């Protein structure tokens, strides 16, 4: 077989594997591979596609936001796509991301770094201050209506303290302690345990019966406004997060503004060990360009914003972290 045939065959294998792993993870909430296995295969496919753009198929997992809608749920068409994030894995990748950003918008760029909460992306819609609809990301364009389940989460206000109409986005998650308790109870009842808190959160919210979600101590951190952030009068993402706080929408306060890439790297490094002390799981750090004007200039690919990226923690720490939880509760 010649090199070209081998390459085509590998692309087809990678497409199939990533699609199968994605279905187990996003649709069934039961992963069959580890996140780092998935990430490595995705990086391999991205690298081949970059060298050989003619091998990028429209249904390649690199071109689509993972996930789809489960039967039984009402579908919700998002007003603005709910996208994924590109990934970076080391300091050099972060510096390359910064270089691409500064090439596009200039050296005045500033960043905001946030914890990457390992849960399920949700959109919450408020009309005149009342919570009216909540949905999952789904395939990025169409998600599942999980309003009844989200209403059971105490950190989601059913009424804002201003009668405004707004869509906010965030991550629903299961705290580590609730996860360990839930799996112990499942074990006792002879039910299959959840693989991790992320899958437990997703498996709880993607149930037709809201009584299940109500019993599972879920929580939410909001990390952005759907659509035009500037529509509410802020010029930067960090101001928009402060604004959400004033509305009584819960944001994560470990975020920090960084004036340059050195400060970004310092923040990322500071969480390598500290993250095991959090009572929720994070799988990385999200690095975002802070000014909306700069974000607009950078724009989007089909799958993710060019103005943000997710630094992923190395895989071996995951094992230690899970052991830590089991030993500490």
Query: Among residues 84 and 183, whose Cβ is nearest to ligand NAD?
Result: 84
Name the segment binding ligand NAD (CB under 6 A); options: 33-41, 89-97, 159-167, 266-274.
33-41
Q: Does residue 107 have a known ligand-binding role?
A: no
Choosing from 21, 97, 267, 292, the residue that interacts with ligand NAD (CB under 6 A) is 21
Residue 278: which of 172, 202, 177 has the closest Cα? 177
Q: Is 174 in the site for ligand NAD (CB under 6 A)?
A: no
Name the segment binding ligand NAD (CB under 6 A); options: 116-124, 186-194, 208-216, 226-234.
116-124
| Distance from C-alpha of 214 to C-alpha of 269, rounded to nearest angstrom | 36
Residue 263 Rama label (left phi>0; alpha psi -120 to 50; beta)? alpha
Q: Is 168 in the site for ligand NAD (CB under 6 A)?
A: no
Choosing from 11, 76, 113, 117, the residue that interacts with ligand NAD (CB under 6 A) is 117
Q: What is the largest CA-CA distance in the chain?
A: 66
Q: Is 280 in the site for ligand NAD (CB under 6 A)?
A: no
- Indicate the length of the chain as a whole number: 329
Q: Does residue 36 have a known ligand-binding role?
A: yes
| Distance from C-alpha of 290 to C-alpha of 1, rounded to nearest angstrom | 50
| Distance from C-alpha of 121 to C-alpha of 220, rounded to nearest angstrom | 10
- Residue 66 CB burial class (10 angstroms; 0-12, 13-18, ≥19): buried
| Contact predicate 55/10, CB 8 Å | no
Name the segment binding ligand NAD (CB under 6 A); options: 115-123, 182-190, 229-237, 260-268.
115-123
List of E strands, the chain: 75-77, 87-88, 111-117, 120-127, 130-136, 142-144, 166-173, 219-225, 256-258, 282-289, 308-312
- Which strands make up the sheet holding 120-127, listed edge to edge? 130-136, 120-127, 166-173, 219-225
- Residue 71 CB burial class (10 angstroms; 0-12, 13-18, ≥19): exposed
Q: Does residue 17 have a known ligand-binding role?
A: no
Q: In the complex, what is the shortest distance from the CB of residue 35 to ligand NAD, in angstroms, rounded to a whole number?
A: 3
Catalytic residue among 116, 125, 176, 303: 116
Choosing from 29, 49, 98, 114, the residue that interacts with ligand NAD (CB under 6 A) is 114
Q: Is 113 in the site for ligand NAD (CB under 6 A)?
A: no
Locate 325 and state its tokens: 């939880």
Q: Is 29 in the site for ligand NAD (CB under 6 A)?
A: no
Locate 284 and state its tokens: 């990385």
Q: Does residue 85 have a known ligand-binding role?
A: yes
Binding positions for ligand NAD, 129-148, rule CB under 6 A: 137
Query: Among residues 117 and 166, whose Cβ is nearest to ligand NAD?
Result: 117
> HEC string of 3-31?
HHHHHHHHHHHHHHHHHHHHHHHHHCCCC
Q: Is 33 in the site for ligand NAD (CB under 6 A)?
A: yes
Active site residue 116: yes
Binding positions for ligand NAD, 73-112, rule CB under 6 A: 84-85, 87
Binding positions for ligand NAD, 184-213, rule CB under 6 A: none
Name the segment binding ligand NAD (CB under 6 A); options: 4-12, 27-35, 71-79, 204-212.
27-35
First to last CA, the chain: 55
Name the segment binding ligand NAD (CB under 6 A); options: 32-40, 152-160, 178-186, 236-244.
32-40
Locate 218 and state its tokens: 């879920």
Query: Among residues 109 and 115, whose Cβ is nearest to ligand NAD?
Result: 115
Query: Among residues 101 and 117, whose Cβ is nearest to ligand NAD?
Result: 117
The residues binding ligand NAD (CB under 6 A) are 21-22, 25, 31, 33-35, 38-39, 66, 84-85, 87, 114, 116-117, 121, 137, 171, 223, 286, 310
Could you list the active site residues?
116
């Amino acid at each position: 077989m010649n090199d070209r045939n081998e390459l085509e065959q590998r692309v087809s294998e990678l497409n199939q594997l990533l699609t199968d792993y994605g279905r187990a993870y996003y649709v069934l909430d039961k992963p069959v591979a580890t996140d780092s296995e998935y990430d490595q295969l995705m990086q391999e496919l991205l690298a081949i596609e970059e060298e050989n753009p003619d091998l990028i198929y429209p249904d390649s997992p690199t071109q689509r936001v993972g996930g789809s809608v489960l039967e039984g749920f009402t579908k919700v068409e998002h007003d603005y796509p709910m996208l994924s994030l590109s990934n970076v894995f080391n300091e050099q990748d972060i510096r390359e991301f910064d270089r691409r950003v500064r090439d596009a918008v200039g050296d005045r760029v500033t960043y905001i770094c946030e914890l990457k909460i390992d849960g399920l992306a949700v959109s919450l819609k408020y009309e005149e201050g009342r919570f009216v609809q909540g949905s999952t990301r789904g395939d990025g364009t169409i998600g599942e209506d999980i309003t009844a389940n989200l209403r059971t989460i105490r950190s989601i206000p059913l009424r804002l303290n201003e009668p405004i109409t707004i869509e906010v986005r965030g991550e629903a998650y299961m705290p580590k302690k609730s996860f360990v308790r839930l799996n112990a109870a499942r074990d006792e009842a002879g039910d299959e345990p959840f693989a991790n808190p992320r899958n437990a959160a997703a498996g709880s919210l993607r149930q037709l019966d809201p009584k299940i979600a109500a019993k599972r101590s879920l929580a939410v951190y909001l990390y952005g406004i759907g659509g035009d952030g500037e529509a509410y009068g802020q010029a930067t993402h960090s101001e928009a997060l402060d604004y959400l706080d004033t509305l009584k929408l819960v944001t994560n306060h470990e975020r920090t503004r960084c004036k340059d890439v050195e400060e970004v790297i310092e923040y990322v490094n500071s969480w390598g060990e500290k993250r095991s002390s959090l009572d929720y799981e994070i799988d990385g750090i999200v690095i975002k360009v802070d000014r909306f004007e700069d974000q607009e200039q950078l724009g989007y690919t089909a799958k993710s914003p060019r103005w943000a990226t997710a630094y992923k923690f190395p895989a071996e720490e995951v094992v230690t972290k899970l052991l830590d939880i089991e030993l500490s509760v």
